[in-house]
Structures are given as C-alpha cells and as structure tokens.
Structure 1
C-alpha cells in the first residue's frame, strides 16, 4: 500500500524534480508491478507530440526540431517527400518547354542588340582613325591601317617618327574608348545572366509556390512548420540552377577513370528538403511507457549516424536517430538503476537533461573533451517526462548520501516491502495478481485446496502467520513448476499435491548443501549444544 501510494503521488504531481525511485529487494516484482500500475494510467494521458528534425538553411550544422500533433509527423514527412519527387521530375520539365526557350532567346537577343551597337560604334570610330578593330582570344586589338590595308609591325617601324607618334596617340585614344566599351559589354553580359536568373527564379517560385501554398494551408496552426516551408521555397528558388537539370541516369555523364560516386551523392541536392521523423506517435494511444534495459548513453540520448565512401565521412540531419528519452517524452521512462550506473556517461548526462529540461544529442567523445571530426550539433528538444528508476534500496541510500543532485531530481521513493498483512483485502489482491499471472503466462488455474496451500507457502516465506510474502518472483516460479507437474498428470487445475510436488522437487534440486550439513550432524562431525545460553 505504501509503494502504491507513493507511485500514485509521483505520477500525478507535475512539479519539477518529482521523479520516482522504486526500491525493494530483488525478485519481489517491482518492475512488473510498476509497469502494471503505469498501464492503468497512461490511457488517460494525452498522446504527446511527434518530433521531427529539419534542415537549418541558415546554419546546417544545427538542425532544428519541430513538434507536430500526434500522427501529423508521418504525414508531413510523406508530403515533403512528394515535393522532393516533384523537384526531380516536374521542375526540370518546366525548363524544357518551348515557352521557356523563347523567353530566354528574347532576353539574349535584346541585350545582344545593345552589345552589337556598342561594337559597331567602336568599329566606326576605329575606321575613321585608320584602325582595324580585331577580336582575339585576349580581347580586342587595334591594328593601324595604311591605304586601307593593315600595317605590319616592320612597316610601322620604317615610318617617320612623327607619323609613328601620331599613330600611337590615336591608338591610346582608341584604347581608352575600347576599355570603356568592353566594360559596358561586360555589364550587358552580367545583365543577361541576371535576367536569365530572374526568369528561372520566377518560374521556380511559381511552380514551387503551388506545392508550398497547399502545405501552408494545412499547417497554418504550426508557425515552426510555416517558417520551414518558407525557407524551403526560398532555398529552391536560390538553387534553381542546380535543381532544374534533369537527374542523370546510372553512369550517364561519367568519364572513364573517375571514382565511382557513392549512392547517396545524387540525393544530396534534395536531402535538405526532407523531414527526419524522430518520434512517431501515430499508433500511440495515451502516454508512452518506455523500458530501457540497456541504458547506454547512445540508447538514452540518440546518435548521429555517418556514411563513408572511399575514406570520406558524411552526415546530415536525416541521420539523427532517437533515443529512449525522445521516445518517452511526454510519458514515462523506466530504467533499472544498476544498468544505468554501469553505463559510462549515462547518469551524469541524464541528470543534466533533467535539470535543463531538454534532451541534447551529442557525440560521446565531445563529452570527454576530445576533438572529433566535424559533426552536427542539433538544437535540443524540450523534455517533459517522468523518470522511474527501479532497483535495490541500497542504491537509493548511496545515491541520496553521495550524489548532491539525486535528492533534487528524485523526490519520490516507492518502497516495496517483502511482506504484507494477512487480511481479506490483501488476500484478494494477492490472488488477483496470481490469477492475472496465470492468464498472461497461459498457466492452469488453482483449485480451492491449491489456493490454500499457496497461501500457506506465502505465510511460511514471510516467517509470520499474520503476514504474506510479496516475493512474487519466487511465487511465480512456484506456480510455473506446479503447472508443469499438473500437465504431467493431465490435470485441468493445479492442486495442492502439485504445489507440494513443486516445493519438494525444488528443495531436492537445491538441497545438496543442506543434506551435507545434516549428514555431518548425524555423524557427529558438527555438534550442536542445545542446552544453556550463549551470546553471539
């Protein structure tokens, strides 16, 4: 009753630090009773949100978490994958249409006329000054004319010095004009590129806007999703030059002798628009209950996976994997305390998460201060859950005595006793638990005399006629052994004789030491003084 009251209080109170330590000896059913107690209450709790990680377009090394109502995370992930497929197929098609080619041609022709007019004006001025304007790979070259013909360098040197000086002066004047024209031509070419880029952006924004607008209507109630969708639209428009190219087929465009590209390299331009569904509660009813039997740091806090190819390591937000804290967020996380304390980094990191009320995914090497390869540092996710540690009372007292944070973070102790009062109510609860155990394990039920013999065994285990043992592990083992002997006898119910057979067989299997001691007493090797008194 004391343990149940403590559990009920610890689960109902929402104040910070009221996590629970379930204490008691091994084998009394602490874990089973705790999980059964939780199952009765989780259905009444609200199903927590789904959690996703998405790309941070401003700082890709720090992916952003997004919370969505339960079940909407999977739908949002599918919808973003649909946009990705459209980017691969529909967007390149838009730039292959005849209307797009005509608009590009109009832009190029309009600016080409300006460029031709500038070149023609420069040609006319050069001819008036008896120069020929010749285009070379290094730019425009001015060649002097003599009687309408180009003047070779040797012939130029044979001219009178005054005539050479006059030609040089005219050349310098024309070179200044040529530089001005070249700068203007460069500006025209830049305007061509800008106008073509603007055309591509307009087309991309129009096409992508149709897809994004539909999602913005669906998720108008989620500001973080709207911000992400706007960032996706802007990034697609900004990178339309890369995305408008149709996807290459296997081996297409690959030169002989070049290294084989990793399978994920073709996805890189599109992966940043995906949604990494970290926690999916679409099939969850009520609050989650997670039991982490192996509470290593990575199992609790998640990990960032990496891909390698020819020695190169790559990772991004799509490779972030959830831990038990993420999956239990909004519900309950049950951890065996002995396993937790054995795992390096787990206990200090768990305390940090509970104090900060946030779960952060970090590389274990970074926790030790070691330098590592460049990796991600995802933004933390708010943490709202109950931690339930299960273990012997010794661990509770040691932690309370030597860990200053323990008392602030685990304020509720649910202490399971090994005995309970032999009252009618307790007997009813006692038998109800064993009946449920039989149903769950597929065992035969007990007849009336079998029940009486089991209660006698529980009283003897408690060493008190007015108590019953709550060492349910031992009682469960006894029921399973009695069921075995009932099956061997083809009985439909477990009788007192089957329980007696299970007790005697167990004593025989494990009674070697007891028999040896008894034999030594009979032979006089051990002498026991049965008279008088002694202190000891």
Structure 2
C-alpha cells in the first residue's frame, strides 16, 4: 500500500495579518509617510537619475502595470522634486517690425511677462492720450508756425525775385492751376493778346522769344529752389515732430528700460518699438475718441475698440510662470497636435480670415518648457503626427508652432510663422513594459531620446515596516478622498487582500489603484451601516460584492456542472480519467474551472496524440508540456525496451483554446492510469507542470483553481475524501477563501502538496509507485510495474504482429499474389 502523505495544515492555507499586531487603533491616528510612493526604490532611483541628467536624450519612460499608479507616481514624485528646481522664464510673442509674418519670441524673467504686457498697454494708451495733446499745444503750434513762416518767406523771396526779373524783361509772372506761367506784357504792363503779338515784327518776336527762353530757365531754377525749400521744410517739420514725440516717448521709455534692464531681448524690443512709433507718429496724432467711435454700434464698418494700427504693439504672453513654484510639471491626457505644440487661431473679418501674433496659443510643450511633460505612451502613439513632431522637437531643441491646416492644404489663407522657442523639457512617458520594448526595438530614434527606463514593480516584500507604510498610505488615501478611516481589523483585511493579489504570502501588491477602489467600496458599505470607521466585515463585504457583480459566467458554468451538462465527477474512481484544473478570465473576473481529462491506450506505433493539439485548439506551451510528458515516459520505461503504443489525451468538453503547461502532470497521471488499468480517485483534482526529471513544478492561479474545485464538491456534496493536489512549491502562494479553510478545518476538504510524479500517482491511485531496481524492473505490486508490464506486452504484440505481417507479405509475393488486397 502507498504511504500516507501529509496534507497541509489549516495555518498553511492562508497568511493572516492579526489586527492585534498592528500598533494603532485606527488609521486616523497614523501619520502619512513623508514619501507618497512606497516600494518603488528601483523606479525612484531611475527617475532621480533622469531628472538629474540635464543632457539631451535622457528622457524618462516609466514602465509598469496599469494599476500600479504610473501617472500618480510621476506626478507626485516629480512635482515634489521639481519645486526645488529653478523656475523657467516667461515667453512672449511680439510683432516683428522687420518681418511682419514672423512674430518674435521674447524670453522674459519669470513672472514679468504679464507685467510687460500691462506696461506696453499702458505705454501705448499714454502715448495715444499725450501725443495729440502735445501736438495740439500752443508751444508746438508756435514752433510749427515758425518753421512754416520761414518756408513761406523763402518761397516768397524766390517768387518775388523771379517776378522782378520777368518785369525787367517786359514779362509778367502769373500763377495758374498748372503752376507758374511767364507771359509777355505790353507798354501798359498788361498781358499781350494774340492780336498784339501778330502786330510785332519778326525781329521783335525773335527778341521776345529769346527773353522768354531765358526767363523760363530762371523759372525752372526758381522752382528747383522752391522744392528744395519744401523738402527742407518737411525735414524740419518731421524733426520737430520727432523731437516732440521723442520727448514724450523717451520719458516713458526710460522708465521701462530701467525696469527691464536685466532682460536683453525686452530692451531690444523696446528700442524697435520706439523706432516704429517715431516712424509712424501720425497714427498717434489721432485722438483716441475718434478710434473709439469707429467701434460703436450703428457704424457702417465696425472696427475693434483698439485701433488695428495699435495691435502690433500688443504683447502676447504665451507662458506665464508668475505663480509657478520651481519647474513646471504638466500632465497632458489628450496629446493631440494642437494641445502639445500650440495653435494659431484665426478671426473672421468681412468674410476673410486673418491672424496675427496675438492669436498664437501655447501647447503643453510650451507650458512644460524648463520642466517636465508627463503623458501616457499609448495616448501619444494614437496621435502619430504628434509623436513624430515631438521626436523632431527633442532632436532640434526647439518647439515650432506650425499650422496643420496650411501644412495639409486645408487652409489656403495667408498665415504667420512664429519664431521657434528654444526647448528645454524632460519628457516623461508612462506605459506597459511591452510598449517600451516595442518602441525600443522598432524605433531607432526612441532609443536615443528615452535613455532612462524606470521599471516599476507590481509587488514588494511583506515586512513589518512595509505593513506600516501601507497603513500610512491607506490613511493618506482616506484623507485625500474624504473617506472614513479604517480600524485595525479593516486594515488587516485590506493588507490580506493585498497579499491575495500577489498570490505570494511574502509579498504585498503595489497596484494601489485596485486597493484604492476597495477602500472606496468598503467606505460605501460602512456608510450604509452608519459606522464611524470601516471594519473588517465592510472590507470583506466589498470584496464579495465585487466578485458577485462579475461572476455571472462562473455561476452559469457551475450550474451546468451540477446538472452534468459539463461532466465533472467528484466521487469514486475511474481508469484513464482525472480532474484537471484551469483558470478562465472573463474580463475583470478570474476563476478556476475543473476539467475532465481522459486518456485511452491501445496497441500501435503512433505514440501519444493530443486531440486538442490535432484539432488546433491548443497553444504552444501546452504542446511543450506534452512533449515533456513523452520524454518522462521514455525515461521511466524505455530503458530496456522500445515503447510502442497508441495513446490519445483529451480535455473533454473544452470548446476554446487550451494553453499552458499546468496540466502536464495531470496528463501524465491519466496516461499512467490508462496504461496500468488502475483507477484514479475522482475526488482529487490535480494541477502542476512536470519536468523531464519527473519533478512537479509550480503553476499560477493556484487559489482560483482550488476554489473552483471546492465549489463543485460543495454543491455535489463534501465527502471528506475530496481535495486538490498542488505542487509543494505553490504552498507559499496559498491565500484560500475562508470557506475552503473552514471545510479543511472540519476535515471535509484537503490540500496535498507533492514534489514528484511518484508522490502524485500514489495519492491518486492508492498504490505505491515503485522504484527502478538494478535489474531494470520495478517491484511487484507497484503501479510502475503494471505500467512496465503493459508496455512490454504491447511491444511484444507489435513485434509479433509485425513478423506475421512480413511473413504474410513474403508468401503472397512468392505466390504472385497481392498482399494489399488478399488476392
């Protein structure tokens, strides 16, 4: 008889965190940990390195599972350290007086962008008010009159001199619409008529013509002097205007130049503004009231309240860091191109679209310039244009605001091309490690730009200090989200649930998103009972309700098993049949399902066949397990004979893909049972993969598998002989449901750990497996002896059948017959 294998004790079925071991009564008395991120030392070290490396190319990719709080970690950790970094400058766009379609960018001391805009508005408003007053003053009029009179005097002297010369020569200087005209005069000093000219002799006419030509030359000379005098007058008038304007502008400008003496680009801009104002002083001579009246309702052509001519002096504050503490940290959830790189807006104006530097809008890159821009990698990759443009911006070290409409021919209207802004930003992408691997492999530029990988873990070691840190995190979460605090029984259950998620007693989960949802749900149930604190029963209720909301498919499958639609036996013994265990995922719910695995063996040479594999319903890992199974069979029984048999294995009533090697040991047991013709106990379900050496290897989902078989046994009736056989390496992963533990405590359900196939087959059959003896045989009465004898018998049958077939074929050939048709 097989030896009795010890089953696991109740204490080994689950790890408990006793409330009495927690050094607090409620989380309200706990002080939140100073660091908002717990258990991510590796990732934190990488992020710190990436933040410290200011060299281009050291952008950060935070890789980890979705529920590990990647964005929260990036935000909380980076924001805390970014506050200690210098605040970046403000950026403004202003009118380019040299190239009007290329607005200039100004780098301004942090917080001074708004002040510059306000100062420029006040400056222009003051000029619009003061310049008309100055030019309307008596002092200006007197100086203007003086200049004008000097010009008129000079002009009059030139004309009088010309008139006297004409008179001396017998001509009269007259003025008409076409200018000055020299006309011959008679003796009375009156202009000659045509009749008078006809009575003149030929000689007199010739003399008169010569004098006229001479006077016309003098008149041309006089006109030239008059024009020179006009030009001189205009120069003096302009100089006078400039002196007056410069007096007003200069006084105001001196104040602003003193204010912005540390901003070189602003000083250069102010000089250009001053030059432009002096060149266009006529625009300022108009009174503001006249411009305002143009914008009043009822006017035929409404204009903006601020004159169009004055818009070029407006300052567009693109980035204002006046309230920024340290370096900015921007989180962009929708990385569309305009949201990242900014946009150029347009305004409809009498059926046309126009734009200028005041309509340039900032994007996330501008806002994060000098700091950090955090995005989800998957969101960014959905916008291919944005991703490519971002790589180009990082490579060139500048951010350009380009109009996509013009780029793709959507708009044909004229637009502006703002001067690019120098880019000094650290990009932080968050995403799954698989996305990082794909980008690293297939995008060569990604490798050069994202040299820092911060790999976040999904679990951490379970120690006393980590438990207290998690309790502190729970306290902070309750404070941040206005939830009820937990007493220590509630905290202990939350921590146990954290262990359940890792399926490792020595680990705690770092998927704080899942824990946060549990806290909210437990708070809801505590609120229904109007409790001051969340207790263990509230957390337990939240866990059960979460399962209840998602396990409809599991319940339907159990119902079909109870009705024997899905055939699972839990009592008795069967040859070539065993209960295997698998894990099914239905979206947000994972559960275990028993599977009936059968095997039939016959004489033949085809070897082992998996019906699931032949029907293309199994994956490569499952196929690998079958090949290993064949290797073990040869290792145990092909040492002194060839193995010849036909064996077919099948997952009964399986209508989907089968993958994974966790059933390889199960398939080996059922194969041995079928060969030896020894029944397997149907009350024991099996899981575990097997190595070529016959070792039972650990598998995943052990808790779901045990619970799945327990539920079927419970509904069909617990006999006290039922249980699950698991790999001994999986004992540390057990966090079984309390209902299973209670049944084990009463002796109604059992968990057996096994390490080798020999231990497993002894549990399943009640027979001793047997150990290979020096003579190459197994001891009498052992299961392996039965298997070995049956394989030898099959080999002899195949050998004999083969000889008979050969002899029969030879006889047929000698008689001239056909061995294939019996003729």
Compute the TM-score of the two structures, normalised by the length of structure 1. Answer: 0.94
**Displacement, 1:514?**
1.1
Deviations 1:144-178 (A, max 9, x none): 22222212235434543333333222222211111
Deviations 1:154-204 (A, max 9, x none): 543454333333322222221111111112111111111111110000011
**Displacement, 1:130?**
1.7
**Displacement, 1:121?**
1.0
User: Which residue in 1 is equivalent to 2:256?
Assistant: 215
**Aligned ranges 1:181-196 → 2 under 5 Å:** 181-196=222-237
Contact 1:22/1:414 (8 A) holds in 2: yes
What is the rounded CA distance, in whole Å, between the counterparts of 2:230 and 2:50 in structure 1?
A: 72
Between stretches 414-423 and 202-211, larger displacement belongs to 414-423
Which one of 524, 530, 533 corresponds to residue 579 of structure 2? 530
Between stretches 272-281 and 104-113, larger displacement belongs to 272-281
SS at match of 2:149: helix
User: Which residue in 2 is equivalent to 1:463?
Assistant: 503
SS at match of 1:433: helix
Contact 1:243/1:269 (8 A) holds in 2: no
Unaligned stretches of 5+ residues in structure 2:
1-40, 569-577, 581-596, 598-665, 669-688, 690-823
**Aligned ranges 1:71-470 → 2 under 5 Å:** 71-147=111-187, 148-249=189-290, 259-263=300-304, 266-368=306-408, 372-470=412-510
Contact 1:297/1:344 (8 A) holds in 2: no
**CA separation of 1:308/1:253 partners in 2, compared to 1, >3 Å: closer, same or farther?**
closer
Indicate whether 1:28 and 2:161 are aligned: no
**CA separation of 1:251/1:232 partners in 2, compared to 1, >3 Å: closer, same or farther?**
closer
User: Which residue in 1 is equivalent to 2:91?
Assistant: 51
What is the rounded CA distance, in whole Å, between the counterparts of 2:450 and 2:199 in structure 1?
A: 103
User: Which residue in 2 is equivalent to 1:10?
Assistant: 50
**Displacement, 1:210?**
0.7
Contact 2:184/2:192 (8 A) holds in 1: yes
**CA separation of 1:119/1:67 partners in 2, compared to 1, >3 Å: closer, same or farther?**
same
Contact 1:332/1:385 (8 A) holds in 2: yes
Contact 2:294/2:302 (8 A) holds in 1: no
What is the rounded CA distance, in whole Å, between the counterparts of 1:178 and 1:160 in structure 2?
A: 26
**CA separation of 1:252/1:278 partners in 2, compared to 1, >3 Å: closer, same or farther?**
closer
Contact 2:294/2:303 (8 A) holds in 1: no
User: Which residue in 2 is equivalent to 1:514?
Assistant: 554
Compute the TM-score of the two structures, normalised by the length of structure 2. Answer: 0.62
**Displacement, 1:229?**
1.5
SS at match of 1:80: helix
**Displacement, 1:344?**
4.4
**CA separation of 1:469/1:258 partners in 2, compared to 1, >3 Å: closer, same or farther?**
closer
Unaligned stretches of 5+ residues in structure 1:
none
What is the rounded CA distance, in whole Å, between the counterparts of 2:272 and 2:160 in structure 1?
A: 46
**Displacement, 1:260?**
0.5
Between stretches 155-164 and 330-339, larger displacement belongs to 155-164
Contact 2:92/2:315 (8 A) holds in 1: yes
Deviations 1:83-131 (A, max 9, x none): 0110110111111100000000000111111111110111111112222
What is the rounded CA distance, in whole Å, between the counterparts of 2:246 and 2:171 in structure 1?
A: 50
In our comparison, the structure showing a higher alpha carbon Rg is: 2
Aligned length: 533
Contact 1:296/1:344 (8 A) holds in 2: no
Indicate whether 1:67 and 2:107 are aligned: yes
Contact 2:85/2:327 (8 A) holds in 1: yes
What is the rounded CA distance, in whole Å, between the counterparts of 1:432 and 1:35 in structure 2?
A: 19
Contact 2:291/2:307 (8 A) holds in 1: no
Higher relative contact order (CA 8 A, sep 6+): 1
What is the rounded CA distance, in whole Å, between the counterparts of 2:196 and 2:416 in structure 1?
A: 70
What is the rounded CA distance, in whole Å, between the counterparts of 2:119 and 2:411 in structure 1?
A: 38
SS at match of 2:339: helix
Between stretches 281-290 and 219-228, larger displacement belongs to 219-228
What is the rounded CA distance, in whole Å, between the counterparts of 2:314 and 2:446 in structure 1?
A: 40
**Aligned ranges 1:469-508 → 2 under 5 Å:** 469-508=509-548
**Displacement, 1:327?**
1.0
What is the rounded CA distance, in whole Å, between the counterparts of 1:286 and 1:157 in structure 2?
A: 99
**Displacement, 1:214?**
1.1
Contact 1:92/1:245 (8 A) holds in 2: yes
What is the rounded CA distance, in whole Å, between the counterparts of 2:495 and 2:435 in structure 1?
A: 31
SS at match of 1:494: coil
Deviations 1:479-508 (A, max 9, x none): 101000001101111101001111111111
**Displacement, 1:269?**
2.4
User: Which residue in 1 is equivalent to 2:675?
Assistant: none
What is the rounded CA distance, in whole Å, between the counterparts of 1:123 and 1:269 in structure 2?
A: 47
Between stretches 77-86 and 163-172, larger displacement belongs to 163-172
What is the rounded CA distance, in whole Å, between the counterparts of 2:287 and 2:202 in structure 1?
A: 63
